[in-house]
Amino acid sequence: MTDLKRISLALALAASASFAHAADLRIGLQEDPDVLDPDQSRTFVGRIVYESLCDKLVDITPDLEIIPQLATGWSWSDDGKTLTMQLREGVTFHDGTPFDAEAVKANIARSQTMDESRRKSEVKSITGVEVTGPHEVKISLANPDATLLAQFSDRAGMMVSPTAAAAAGADFGLNPVCSGPYKFVERVQQDRIVLEKFAGHWNAGEYAFDRVIFLPIPDTTVRLANLRAGDLDMLERLAATDLASAKADASLKVEQIVGLGYQGITINVANGDRSKNPLGQDARIRQALSLSIDRAALNQVVFEGAFAPGNQPFPPSSPWYDTRFPVPDRDVAKAKALLAEAGHDRLAIEVQVANNPVQMQVMQVIQSMAAEAGFDITLAAKEFATLLNEQTAGNYQASQIGWSGRTDPDGNIHQFQTCQGGINDSKYCNPEVDRLLNEARTSNDPAVRKESYDGARAILANDMPIIYLYHQSWIWALSNKIDGFVPYPDGMIRLAGVSMK
């Protein structure tokens, strides 16, 4: 070996050693998150990072019970239009700013008024926040909102430093400052996000790692190979096709749980010029595309039967599922007839898809199925954050994308299919759907809410701005040295109580 090669190797090993420490936890993500600002972001993997970075007002148990986090208690007025919350004392943000009632008021105002905020529809019911004590707030609502506590268990409830937010404005995500167990150190796009333990956290004793390093690795095979090689300690979304292999590997553990969300194809029906095509303008064509897909076969071919075929925002096992509209069987003849009725023998469409092997395989199977019904699908593979940006801008015709799911059913439908929904990238708008979904928010009676959701489902089954495909299970693979990990149906990675042998 030449001296130059020895020096280069020594430098490489030194760099590697400085990056990975014994008390690090390295987590492989399926995508690189978008902006690290709870008010602006929308990626699932971003929420995984937030679980370590940003505490919320409330959290959930694995059984979906709402429990305290930054709020230690709460109560509703008799008319359901006032929520009073008691806040945890002795909490500080990572920059030393105290967490108190004024901070909560500032955070809610930011979610409601910031131009770039995607949380507006989630906190739309709030008409005012009154500071009634240093650690108590009274939140007033225009109408009863059965979804609000569930919203506070997610990004709408994540508290950021008002000091940092005011200084950074829309650029807050470049250096996010929250109050979670870990604080932001650095981000290298498409490479890593590094957090380090926040010694001042109110529950610091429950967190064992000095640093948490998130590594985006879109290729599921490469992600698993990195775990087996010891370059990762755990990964999220193990491919269903690798489940048997991972379970048989003595060096690994596998955890899984049925999720709350869905995967589907979002159609651009009114988001700019790219909606002005037969797929975007004619519901019959969207119905035909849906009927060309054999969802059971798709689940078997791509996921070896590990997931559940679906056709609604909620899985068939959910109490919110509308049984009047069961998962349809594939019907090529009917699909062709609908296409012909709309004036087409064959139709070319473009579907954008995340550039990971699993989603590409999903769309390749659908591409083959749909071709038999008269659809010539072109696939546009894109990095996930780019795909989301294109959706927001309306620069797409159709997009294969999913949603990780929310504790309350409202979180799976309202923001996607109401006229002013914060993540309504199709720009679908039907006043009657708005009325029904808004009505579902105002009652705490499950039967009343179910009736409203079913009414909306009857309309959406025809209009079909989203073609639902399947409901996934969350599957994690971990080194067998990891102890204490608990799977949650929201797919998040909560590190309280997790340690490494």
In this predicted structure, what is the pLDDT of residue 87? 98
pTM higher than 0.85, yes or no?
A: no
* pLDDT, tens digit (0-9, with 9 covering 90-100), for 224-276: 999 999 999 999 999 998 999 999 999 999 999 888 899 999 999 999 999 99
What's the rounded Cα separation, in Å, for the pair 401 and 359? 9
Domain limits of the chain?
A: 18-37+180-259+474-500, 55-164, 262-471
- Using an 8 Å Cβ cutoff, are 40 and 385 in contact? no
Q: Which residues lie across from 255 on neighbouring strands?
A: 476
Burial (0-12, 13-18, 19+ Cβ within 10 Å), 451: middle
- Domain 262-471, architecture per CATH: Roll (3.10)
Non-local CB neighbours of 217 within 8 Å, separated by 6+ positions? 28, 29, 30, 223, 226, 232, 235
In this predicted structure, what is the pLDDT of residue 21? 55
- Domain 55-164, architecture per CATH: Alpha-Beta Complex (3.90)
Q: Is 423 helix (H, G, I), strand (E, B) or coil?
A: coil
- Using an 8 Å Cβ cutoff, are 172 and 117 in contact? no
395: its two tokens = 């620069």
pLDDT band at 286 (very low <50, low <70, confident <90, very high): very high
CA dihedral 235, 238, 243, 247 (to 10 degrees): 0
- Using an 8 Å Cβ cutoff, are 262 and 417 in contact? no
Say whether pLDDT at 153 is over 80: yes
**Can you tell me the mean pLDDT for 169-191?**
98
The reply to whether 18-37+180-259+474-500 and 262-471 are identical in fold is no
The neighbour count for residue 440, using CB atoms within 10 Å, is 25
- Using an 8 Å Cβ cutoff, are 238 and 246 in contact? yes
- Using an 8 Å Cβ cutoff, are 209 and 22 in contact? no
What's the rounded Cα separation, in Å, for the pair 3 and 11? 12
- Domain 18-37+180-259+474-500, architecture per CATH: 3-Layer(aba) Sandwich (3.40)
Non-local CB neighbours of 113 within 8 Å, separated by 6+ positions? none
Share of the chain above pLDDT 70, in %: 96
Mean per-residue pLDDT of the chain: 93
* pLDDT, tens digit (0-9, with 9 covering 90-100), for 434-461: 999 999 988 878 899 999 999 999 999 9
- Using an 8 Å Cβ cutoff, are 396 and 268 in contact? yes
In this predicted structure, what is the pLDDT of residue 6? 38
In a 13 Å sphere around the CA of 127, the CA atoms on its Cβ side amount to 8
Strands (E), 79-225: 82-87, 126-133, 136-141, 182-188, 192-197, 211-216
In this predicted structure, what is the pLDDT of residue 19? 43
* pLDDT, tens digit (0-9, with 9 covering 90-100), for 157-172: 999 999 999 999 999 9
In this predicted structure, what is the pLDDT of residue 258? 81
- Using an 8 Å Cβ cutoff, are 70 and 412 in contact? no
In this predicted structure, what is the pLDDT of residue 10? 39
In this predicted structure, what is the pLDDT of residue 299? 95
What's the rounded Cα separation, in Å, for the pair 433 and 405? 20
In this predicted structure, what is the pLDDT of residue 121? 87
Judging by DSSP bridges, how do beta strands 136-141 and 82-87 pair with one another?
antiparallel
Nearest partner of 208 among 29, 25, 48, 69, judged by Cα: 25
Q: Which residues lie across from 126 on neighbouring strands?
A: 141
Angle (CA) 360-239-494 rounded to 5° is 120
The whole-angstrom distance between residue 202's C-alpha and the CA centroid of its chain comes to: 27
Q: Is 213 helix (H, G, I), strand (E, B) or coil?
A: strand
Quote the longest CA-to-CA distance of the chain.
80
Q: Is 498 helix (H, G, I), strand (E, B) or coil?
A: coil
